[in-house]
Amino acid sequence: MKIIETKRLIIREFVPADYELLFLYSQEDIVKKELPDEVLENNEKAMEEIKIFKGKYPHDYPLVYAIESKEACCLIGHICLSPIAEGI
């Protein structure tokens, strides 16, 4: 399900087929450096993460959504929304 669509991106719910790309981008050097807790061990862990993400919709926080490139037609990242005093 699409949450937000722009000219270049789609923010949407994760789907099971996203697991391979979720694993691959978790292995990038910048992720390892800046977000070490986001590094996944293998494809099976990526599948588990997607199940956790999907289990949070629509009201349990943090909300985690996939970011898809329209040009590449594939997952390029994700966004996490958490509540703060002013809202989300």
17-60 pLDDT, tens digit each: 999 999 999 999 999 999 999 999 999 999 999 999 888 777 78
Domain membership of residue 86 (yes or no) is no
Domain membership of residue 55 (yes or no) is yes
- Cβ(32)–Cβ(39) under 8 Å? yes
Domain membership of residue 87 (yes or no) is no
For residue 68, give its domain range: 2-81
Domain membership of residue 66 (yes or no) is yes
pTM comes to 0.83
Alpha-carbon gap, residue 77 to 88, rounded angstroms: 19
Tell me the CATH number at 14: 3.40.630.30
Phi and psi, residue 50, nearest 5° = -60, -40
% of the chain with per-residue pLDDT over 70: 99
The runs of H, that is alpha helices, within 1-88 are 19-26, 29-34, 43-55
Of 39, 38, 47, 51, residue with least CA distance to 20: 47
Instruction: Domain count for the chain, please give it.
Output: 1
To the nearest whole number, what is the mean pLDDT of the chain? Answer: 92
Domain membership of residue 48 (yes or no) is yes
Domain membership of residue 88 (yes or no) is no
